[in-house]
Amino acid sequence: MNKNIAVLRGDGIGPEIVNEAIKALDKIAEIYGHTFNYSDVDIGGCSIDKFGVPITDEGMNICKNSDSVLLGAVGGPKWDNCPPEIRPEKALLAVRKELGLFANLRPTCLFLQLANASPLKQEIVGNGIDLMIVRELTGGIYFGKRFTEEKNGELEATDYMTYAESEIERIGRVAFDSAMKRRKKLASVDKANVLDSSRLWRKTMHKLAEEYPEVEYSDILVDNTAMQLIKNPSQFDVLVTENMFGDILSDEASMLTGSIGMMPSASLSSTTLGMYEPIHGSAPDIAGMDIANPLGTILSAALMLRYSFNMAKEADAIETAVNAVLDEGYRTGDIYEEGTKKVGCKEMGDLVMQRIK
Ligand code: IPM
Ligand code: MG
């Protein structure tokens, strides 16, 4: 197959980790007889420096016309004082919105080789963690009207959180479908004891649940979810939630896996066009030092093969290679422990690439 991939390296460690994911994709192309064509698009701070905007219209069009998008990370202290309209993160949200990427899948799996890297006790994570966070990605407070105004002699800031039934229903379907392919358990996370948007969320999920009688469905409040994720994470299979709750809970859940550096994500639309990125940020403090963990990005490339290109075998090949490298004891600094072999970003990428069969 011939596929066009928009490559958005971004800022900080973005370029380094994306390069390692491309090594893996090139190896897949070579072994399985595919052609992957890459188009570079600047996004985030690097684009602000070059063009004065965090993504150009031309860049956005390249993304829209690709078969999929591979992203590193955006942002850094250098651009923290940019006006809100041109902040690096603005481009990321714009790509999500313009490409219609409403469903963000964040698989949270503990590689058993890394059980000791998790700050949680063995009795909590030792039996393995395998949950899927389905985060709504193009609605809610991230995309509501926001403004700051002067009122009664002081500044007042407002952010609106809005959800339409249709938005809730389409993310709900993704979550129920995902549960059907897994252990058939779905927990819908909300704050229905306080928020109207959550009450509509819950009502809409209940309607959908009737269409999926095989799925064991439950509602759970977001504060309780935050606690249960630490107390008893293996009770969960699929979690579905709105944009901001999903942002927060997925960072929390990543620590169950040992390191946020391990976690991939897929942002899907109603077509096969998707965007694939690790869930971590641009880590400017370690940028350019060749010590970042590229595995979250490499695993994101595997998700691209699986979800956008329908290449399940090829996706498995990357995941198996990552497992092999971990089995052999290779670790980047974030997952290093005594008795293992510390390697840099490039070497980790090479090791994975060499093991892809
Ligand atoms: C994420 C990130 C982004 C988000 C930021 C960079 C805007 O934290 O993908 O989780 O909040 O969605
Ligand atoms: Mg986040």
DSSP code string of 112-179:
GGGGGGSSS-HHHHTT--EEEEEEE-SSGGGTS-EEEEEETTEEEEEE-----HHHHHHHHHHHHHHH
> Which tokens go with 80?
């923290």
Q: What is the pTM of this model?
A: 0.95
- Nearest to 293, CA basis, from 252, 270, 264: 264
User: Which-ligand-closest: CA of 106?
Assistant: 1
For 107-145, what is each residue's pLDDT tens digit? Answer: 999 888 888 888 888 888 887 889 999 999 999 999 999
Residue-level pLDDT at 130: 94
Q: Is 126 buried (19+), middle (13-18) or exposed (0-12) by CB count in 10 A?
A: middle
Q: Whose CA is closest to atom 4 on ligand 1?
A: 247
- The C-alpha atoms of residue 225 and residue 268 are separated, in whole angstroms, by 24
What residues flank ligand 1, with Cβ below 6 Å?
A: 89, 92, 247, 279
For 161-183, what is each residue's pLDDT tens digit? Answer: 999 999 999 999 999 999 999 99
Residue-level pLDDT at 120: 87
Is position 212 annotated as part of the catalytic site? Answer: no
Residue-level pLDDT at 122: 85
Residue-level pLDDT at 151: 96
Domains assigned to the chain: 1-100+272-357 (3.40.718.10), 119-257 (3.40.718.10)
* Residues of the chain with confidence (pLDDT) below 50: none
Q: How far is the CA of 295 from the centre of ligand 2 (A)?
A: 17
- Report the share of the chain in percent with pLDDT over 70: 100
* CA-to-CA separations, 166 to 37, 173, 337, in angstroms, rounded: 35, 11, 47
- The C-alpha atoms of residue 315 and residue 303 are separated, in whole angstroms, by 7
Could you identify the atom of ligand 1 that is nearest to the CA of residue 243?
12
